[in-house]
Amino acid sequence: GFYLCCWDCHLKMKTLSGWRQRDNPCKAIPLDFVFVIDSSRSIRTNDYEKVKTFIINLLQFLKIGHDATRVGLLQYGSVVQPEFSLSTYTTKSEVEQAVRNMEHLATGTMTGLAIQYTMETAFTEEHGARPMNLHIPRIAMIVTDGRPQDTVEEIAAQARQAGIQIFAIGVGRVDMNTLRAIGSEPHSEHVHLVANFSQIETLISVFQSKLCSDMCEVVDHQCQHICVSSPASYRCKCREGYILNPDGKTSEPECSEGVMDLVFVIDGSKSLGPNNFELVKQFVNSIVDSLDISKTGTHVGLLQYSSKVRTEFTLGQYSTAQHIKSAVNRMRYMGRGSMTGSALRHMFESSFSTKEGGRFNIPRVSIVFTDGRSQDDVSEWATKAKNSGITIYALGVGKAIEQELREIASEPDEKHLYYAEDFEKMAEITKKLKSRICAGNPIISQGISNSLTCLLAAMSRRLETLENQLVHK
């Protein structure tokens, strides 16, 4: 339990409420924040009330709401008692009232059990935590006397490994080694000892600076791309299409290992529609983000076809991802017929030629995106292209004919052909792509296996993003 000195008679609620009244220039970022409160029998009744007062005053630095900070709270003694989850309340006043209504358990001190519940239940999406891919910091604040009746070191390490940032607060005569075993690194930022609650103002001000500071503005973070703040900490993040290097600061393209000449063949026919054409452009650009585009790296070209075939840009035209993406954004939707065969002929005869920037001894890959039946024959030119060593992936949506897709795609077609009934069912393509990647088999010769496996992984992620955009519209 807590070992507390007497409450400083001068530090009454009137003084504490001053924390709320002051002009607070807090730059609070959204958090998923769970209080884990020791409610053991050694805490006297009036000291338990002071714990509740401390929580309420700390809440003043949090902007609470469904799309802002979500707050949950559990207390523990011999068992864990959840008071409210991250999804229970959406206003500060509701949270404050729930804290005031808490009742003292006055039993044992099973801190390890409480940490386990925090990790396995409190921070699940079912209980209101937001998905990990949204990168909302997950914060657990554990207030304890540091003398648990169970082990904490292993379960606390698992919780931190799961992405939970833990602040460990000890009050009274605590075991600092236990607090350090619980709290995140660096301990100077995450482990705090308060001799008694007459020092609460000092503790509140410490957490004000943590909760309200943008760490990326006050430290030399050295992140190559993006710095993401969390209380008393930060992490580096990459732009889409890049992965973080082991140094935790620099980034490299997802497909930096593979070099290829890649030509997109994009259906611009009337049946696609201008809105879906914009989605296809987004898809192309997000694939480009995943590639190591440079003079010596991957080169990208693109054809759009309708009744005619138009070269939007050749393999040799651009050597940076930004220039390619700008060219994709400038593309104008043709919106007429669907001459897929003519497009395949142009891709085979011209797109990989040295005149247009094709290189010797570099893997040649084409991604053909279509949404309907071709008005001309596709098999002749697809076969010639494949026989010349070009690997073709066929992505079909909507009224695309499976037999045509099989004629276009490289063999085996189950690894090179992807189809969805419409743009809102791109999950089917994503699922196939994922199962293809997870199978882990070489796609074709070892020389380009890495390049294409990485390309497929990128395509899978982009298709999933496209599908999510459509679902949430």
Give the per-residue pLDDT at 101: 96
Contact assessment for residue 31 and residue 70, using Cβ atoms and an 8 Å cutoff: yes
Dihedrals φ, ψ of 365, to 5°?
-135, 140
Distances (CA, A) of 41 to 56, 82, 109: 22, 18, 8
Longest dimension (CA), the chain: 91
Q: Cα separation of 462 and 456, whole Å?
A: 10
The highest-level CATH class for domain 31-212 is alpha beta
Helix, strand and coil percent figures for the chain, each rounded to 5: 40, 20, 35
**88: exposed, middle or buried (C-beta count within 10 Å: 0-12, 13-18, 19+)?**
middle
- In this structure, what token pair is assigned to residue 339? 């001459």
10 Å Cβ neighbour count for 220? Answer: 5
Second-level CATH architecture of 214-254: Ribbon (2.10)
If we measure between CA atoms, which residue out of 337, 443, 329 comes closest to residue 393? Answer: 443
Q: What is the pLDDT along the chain (473 residues), one digit of tens a residue?
A: 433 333 333 333 333 434 443 444 566 689 999 999 999 988 888 888 888 999 999 998 889 999 999 999 999 999 999 999 999 999 999 999 999 999 999 999 999 999 999 999 999 999 999 998 888 999 999 998 768 999 999 999 999 999 999 999 998 878 899 999 999 998 988 999 888 766 766 778 788 878 777 778 767 788 998 888 877 778 898 887 678 888 888 987 776 656 889 999 999 999 888 988 988 898 888 788 878 899 999 999 999 999 999 999 999 999 999 999 999 999 999 999 999 999 999 999 999 999 999 999 898 999 999 988 899 999 999 999 999 999 998 988 877 788 899 999 998 877 788 887 776 665 456 445 444 433 433 333 333 455 666 666 666 666 666 666 655 54
Q: What pLDDT digit, counting tens, does each position of 343-390 carry?
A: 999 999 999 999 999 999 898 999 999 988 899 999 999 999 999 999
**Pairing relation of β-strands 364-370 and 391-397?**
parallel
Domain 261-438: assigned CATH number: 3.40.50.410
Provide the pLDDT for residue 156. Answer: 97
pTM score of the predicted model: 0.55
- Asked whether this chain's domains 31-212 and 261-438 adopt the same fold, the reply is yes
3-class secondary structure, 292: coil
Which three-class secondary structure state does DSSP give residue 43? coil
Domain ranges of the chain: 31-212, 214-254, 261-438
Using one digit for the tens of pLDDT, what is the confidence trace for 271-312?
Answer: 888 988 988 898 888 788 878 899 999 999 999 999 999 999
pLDDT confidence of residue 200: 62
Give dist(CA 243, CA 331) in Å, integer: 28
